[in-house]
Amino acid sequence: MWIVAFIIGLGALWDGFTTFVGIIQIFNITGMHGVELAQLIFAAVVSIVILGFLVSTHIIWTFERDDLISLSLKSAWVLCLVLDFYTAYIGNKAYVFGGRLETPAHSFGLLIITVLITMSSVLLSRIIMVRTVRGRSYLY
pLDDT tens for each residue of 9-54:
999 999 999 999 999 999 888 766 777 888 999 999 999 999 999 9
Cα separation, 22 vs 28, whole angstroms: 10
Number of independent structural domains in the chain:
1
Q: Give, as one character, the DSSP assignment of residue 32.
A: T
Q: Which domain holds residue 133?
A: 2-137
**How far are the Cα atoms of 44, 63, 88, 117, 118 from residue 19, in angstroms, in the given order?**
9, 27, 5, 10, 9
Other C-beta atoms lying within 10 Å of the C-beta of residue 77: 19
Summarize the confidence of residues 114-135 as an average pLDDT.
81
Say what the pLDDT of residue 132 is.
44
Say what the pLDDT of residue 140 is.
45
* pLDDT at residue 122 greater than cutoff 90: yes
Determine phi and psi for 36, rounding to 5 degrees: -105, 145
| pLDDT higher at 72 or 30 | 72
